[in-house]
């Protein structure tokens, strides 16, 4: 397998980190043993964790107004794969990449698949883009895409999604994520029911093109760019559409796409209960779709989401397999560092959720022992599982401290030389 960072640098880094890590790991192991938990089992569990990378996340994002690109940004899909390979090499938690078309459309699909395969990277669900017009496009999406009143725009949007499926198929993907910015900016602009009818009609065309072993993920979002009403505004609409379309259609929960203070873990519980939880876009936010690194604002919410996922897994077993993906936008940090941090934070919530004593919690709930029920969760959340995560990485060939090792490798400075900025070459854009 090809690696981007010299494995000697990782080994050197780990040799230095080993003594402290072993001491911390032993101390945590002892503490967990007193709670009836086997640290080795938890470390093995941590090693199974995987979250996919968004191809658009390795470039600098931006605000509504501007983008301040950093040095050495990837300029094409192959360079994006290189950066994703670094993230996976240093975390061993991100083996899949989620591409966005047409931004990442390769001229030679087989070559791209082969290129990723050399790093042992695979492809997660592919994303369509009908939220902006492309150069030379015949019909505009200014007034909507899958919901447009123009039959031509709708047909073009359906066709684009079908093409995404074809590309994804050639890459070995198994899903299509559809996020549309369709909606209305003003009351009265649009017949609300009519727009959703057109959406469903278009999505039936997309659904019909799905291979048997594929799923389509419907991503809801409350706001922007349609400020008054987005067509797929909430999980209820998403759920209704996924139900209407059929068993291959599921709901995707992007953590930043809700009103502030929304109880997202309950949405997760509801979707899991009815078999429609397709997957996640993990990120964090203070106000809205801030697309901050996972766990940077509200790590307890992330934990509570994973607590629901652990509950669903315990109930439904192997059959319950939502797909995990990061979706964030980096304006002022090195995207590689931010994505590594996020992968680790999501993995942390996953491991912490395994610390919840589910039998004890069920008994507290049964006894209406409200205080202890809440404490059962807090107890798991407060446990610092960092030594487990570091040991899991070390055993999988990654460094104990991914950001430290990345900085020591000089990767970014080297890319700054190899990838001089080209105007308009970054297809990461403002997302």
Cα–Cα distance between 42 and 36 in angstroms, integer?
Answer: 12
Least separation in angstroms between residue 283's CB and Mn ion is 7
CA nearest 103: which of 159, 59, 46?
A: 59
Q: Please, which residue, 127 or 202, has the CB nearer to ligand AFD?
A: 127
Nearest distance from residue 401's CB to Mn ion, in Å? Answer: 28
Point out which span in 167-175, 284-292, 376-384, 411-419 binds Mn ion (CB under 5 A).
284-292
CB of 127 or CB of 323, closer to ligand AFD: 127
Q: List binders of Mn ion among 252-281 (CB under 5 A).
A: 254, 281
Q: Which is nearer to ligand AFD, 79 or 289 (CB)?
A: 289
Q: Maximum Cα–Cα distance for the chain, whole Å?
A: 66
Q: What is the token pair recorded at 90?
A: 């240093």
CA atoms of 356 and 378, how far apart (whole Å): 9
Q: Distance between CA 90 and CA 22 in Å, rounded?
A: 19
- Residue for token pair 């929304």: 262
Yes or no: say if 324 and 279 are a contact pair by the CB < 8 Å rule.
yes
Binder among 92, 221, 276, 393 for ligand AFD (CB under 6 A): 221
The Cα–Cα gap between 62 and 393 comes to 31
Closer residue to ligand AFD (CB): 46 or 99? 99
Kindly state whether residue 179 participates in binding ligand AFD, applying the rule CB under 6 A: yes
The sign of the torsion formed by the CA atoms of 412, 286, 63, 82 equals positive
d(CA 138, CA 13): 54
The residues, any chain, with a CB within 8 Å of residue 365's CB and separated by 6 or more, are 373
Asked whether position 327 contacts Mn ion by CB under 5 A, the answer is yes
Nearest CB to Mn ion, comparing residues 144 and 256: 256
Applying CB under 6 A, which of residues 82, 83, 104, 254 lies at the interface with ligand AFD? 254
Residue 127: contacted member of Mn ion, ligand AFD, none (CB under 5 to 8 Å, by partner type) = ligand AFD
Among 289, 293, 311, 401, contact with Mn ion (rule: CB under 5 A): 289
**ω into residue 25 within 30 of 0, thus cis?**
no
User: Which three-class secondary structure state does DSSP give residue 382?
Assistant: helix
Instruction: Report d(CA 49, CA 351) in Å as an integer.
Output: 9
- Kind plus residue range of the DSSP H or E element containing 240: helix 235-245
Binding of Mn ion by 293 (CB under 5 A): no
Binding mask of the shown chain, residues 106 to 135, with x at each position contacting ligand AFD by CB under 6 A: ---------------------x--------
Candidate residues 289, 308, 337, 401; the one interacting with ligand AFD per rule CB under 6 A: 289
Total site size for ligand AFD, rule CB under 6 A:
9
Neighbours of 315 (CB within 10 A): 11
Residue nearest to ligand AFD (CB): 431
Q: Does 330 bind Mn ion (CB under 5 A)?
A: no
Task: Return the structure tokens found at 346.
Answer: 């999501």
- Both tokens assigned to 287: 């106000």
Among 79, 104, 265, 327, binds ligand AFD (CB under 6 A): 327
Smallest distance from Mn ion to CB 117, Å: 26
Q: What is the binding site for Mn ion (CB under 5 A)? A: 254, 281, 289, 327
Q: What is the binding site for ligand AFD (CB under 6 A)? A: 127, 179, 219, 221, 254, 281, 289, 327, 431
């Amino acid at each position: 397998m090809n690696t981007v960072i010299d494995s000697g640098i990782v080994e050197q880094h780990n040799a230095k980190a080993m003594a402290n890590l072993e001491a911390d790991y032993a101390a945590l192991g002892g503490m967990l043993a007193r709670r009836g938990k086997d640290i080795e089992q938890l470390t093995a569990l941590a090693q199974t964790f995987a979250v996919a990378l968004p191809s658009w996340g390795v470039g600098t994002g931006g605000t509504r107004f501007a983008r301040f690109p950093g040095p050495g940004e990837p300029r094409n899909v192959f360079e994006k794969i290189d950066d994703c390979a670094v993230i996976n090499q240093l975390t061993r938690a991100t083996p899949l990449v989620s591409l966005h078309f047409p931004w990442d459309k390769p001229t030679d699909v087989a070559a791209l698949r082969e290129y990723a395969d050399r790093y042992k990277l695979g492809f997660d669900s592919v994303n369509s883009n009908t939220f902006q017009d492309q150069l030379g496009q015949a019909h505009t999406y200014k007034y909507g895409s899958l919901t447009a009143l123009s039959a031509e725009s709708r047909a073009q949007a359906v066709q684009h999604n079908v093409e995404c499926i074809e590309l994804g198929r050639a890459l070995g993907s198994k899903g299509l994520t559809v996020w549309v910015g369709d909606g209305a900016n003003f009351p009265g602009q649009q017949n609300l029911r009519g727009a959703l009818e057109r959406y469903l009609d278009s999505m039936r065309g997309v659904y019909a093109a799905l291979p048997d072993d594929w799923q389509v993920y419907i991503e809801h979002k409350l706001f922007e760019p349609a400020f008054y009403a987005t067509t797929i505004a909430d999980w209820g609409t998403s759920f209704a559409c996924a139900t209407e379309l059929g068993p291959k259609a599921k709901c995707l929960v992007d953590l930043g796409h809700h009103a502030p203070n929304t109880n997202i873990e309950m949405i997760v519980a509801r979707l899991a209960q009815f078999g429609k939880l397709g997957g996640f876009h993990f990120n964090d936010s203070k106000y809205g779709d801030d697309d901050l690194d996972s766990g940077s604002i509200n790590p307890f919410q992330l934990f509570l989401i994973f607590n629901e996922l652990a509950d669903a897994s315990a109930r439904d077993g192997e059959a319950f397999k939502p797909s995990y993906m990061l979706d964030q936008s980096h304006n002022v940090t090195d995207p590689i560092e931010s994505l590594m941090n996020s992968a680790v934070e999501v993995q942390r919530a996953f491991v912490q959720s395994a610390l919840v004593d589910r039998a004890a919690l069920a008994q507290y709930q049964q006894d209406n022992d409200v205080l202890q029920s809440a404490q059962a969760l807090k107890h798991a959340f407060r446990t610092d599982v960092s030594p487990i995560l570091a040991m899991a990485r070390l055993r999988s060939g990654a460094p104990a401290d991914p950001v430290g090792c990345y900085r020591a490798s000089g990767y970014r400075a080297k890319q700054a030389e190899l990838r001089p900025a080209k105007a308009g070459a970054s297809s990461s854009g403002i997302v």
